[in-house]
Amino acid sequence: MARTTMSPGSHWPRTSTLRGCRTNRLLRMFLLFGQTLIGLSVLSTPLQAFAFGSLGTNSAVRSSSLRLLEPRALSIHEMNMTRSTASREGQPVVAINPTNPDNSVFVSTRFYPLPELEPVGGCFLTYTLDRGTTWNNVTVDFPLGATPKCGEPQVFVDANGTFYLLNNQVFSDLEDNIAAHLQLSKSIDGGKTWSVPSVTALHMQGATKLRVDVATGKVSDGGKTWAAFNQIPGPMDVCLDYQIPDPPPICGFPGRSIVVHDSTLASAAEGSKGHPEIRGNFVANGTGPMLAKSGIGLPSDPTPWVSADPTSTGRFALMVPRDFTLEFYIIDTAGERFTGPAVIQTPNAQRPAFDFGPNGLLGVMWRTNSSSILDVSSTVSFDSGRNFAAPIKVTAQPQPVGQNGQPGDRASFVSLTHTFAYVV
pLDDT of residue 187: 94
**34, pLDDT greater than 60:** no
**54, pLDDT greater than 60:** no
pLDDT, mean of residues 33-50? 36
Three-class DSSP category at 112: coil
What does the H/E/C string look like for 14-76?
Answer: CCCCCCCCCCCCCEEEEEEEEEEECCCCCEEEEEEEEEECCCCCCHHHHHHHHHHCCCCCCEC
- The answer to which of 86-90, 288-292, 333-337, 387-391 has the lowest mean pLDDT is 288-292
CA dist 256 and 307 (Å) reads 12
pLDDT, mean of residues 312-333? 85
User: CA angle 350-351-355, nearest 5°?
Assistant: 135
Q: Which residue has the higher pLDDT, 44 or 321?
A: 321
The identity of residue 394, as a single letter, is V
The identity of residue 39, as a single letter, is G
27-53+71-423 has which fold? Neuraminidase (2.120.10)
**170, pLDDT greater than 70:** yes
pLDDT of residue 336: 67
pTM, entire model: 0.75
Three-class DSSP category at 140: helix
- The answer to which of 19-33, 166-180, 187-201 has the lowest mean pLDDT is 19-33
Q: Calculate the average pLDDT of the chain.
A: 68
Phi, psi of 54 (to 5 degrees): -70, 135
Instruction: Give percent of the chain with pLDDT exceeding 90.
Output: 9
CA dist 394 and 4 (Å) reads 17
CA dist 422 and 424 (Å) reads 7
pLDDT of residue 373: 76
Note the pLDDT tens digit of each residue in 375-416.
888 899 999 888 998 888 887 777 666 544 443 456 678 888
**22, pLDDT greater than 60:** no
pLDDT of residue 76: 40
Residue (of 262, 265, 195) closest to 229 by Cα position: 265
Strand ranges, E, within 216-321: 239-240, 250-251, 258-261, 264-272, 275-278, 281-282, 305-308, 316-321
Note the pLDDT tens digit of each residue in 178-228.
777 788 889 999 999 999 888 776 766 666 777 887 777 666 676 677 776
- Residue 71 contacts by C-beta under 8 Å, 6 or more apart in sequence? 23, 390, 392, 393
H/E element, 175: helix 174-178
Three-class DSSP category at 109: strand
Q: Give yes or no for a contact between 162 and 149, defined as CB atoms under 8 angstroms apart.
A: no
pLDDT band of residue 150 (cuts 50, 70, 90) is confident
C-alpha dist (Å) from residue 317 to 227, 339, 364 = 27, 10, 12
For residue 420, what are the β-bridge partners? 51
Q: Which residue has the higher pLDDT, 52 or 415?
A: 415
- The answer to which of 287-301, 304-318, 351-365, 366-380 has the lowest mean pLDDT is 287-301
Q: Where are the domains of the chain?
A: 27-53+71-423
CA dist 324 and 345 (Å) reads 6
**104, pLDDT greater than 80:** yes
The burial class, CB within 10 Å (0-12 / 13-18 / 19+), for 367 is buried
The identity of residue 148, as a single letter, is P
- The answer to which of 41-45, 227-231, 352-356 has the lowest mean pLDDT is 41-45
- The answer to which of 93-102, 164-173, 335-344, 397-406 has the lowest mean pLDDT is 397-406
CA dist 259 and 200 (Å) reads 18
pLDDT, mean of residues 269-292? 64
C-alpha dist (Å) from residue 264 to 320, 325, 394, 403, 416 = 21, 29, 34, 40, 21
Note the pLDDT tens digit of each residue in 63-103.
333 333 343 344 344 455 556 666 677 778 889 998 998 99
- The answer to which of 204-208, 290-294, 329-333 has the lowest mean pLDDT is 290-294
Q: How many CA atoms lie within 13 A of 419 on its CB side?
A: 11
pLDDT of residue 364: 93
pLDDT, mean of residues 130-152? 83
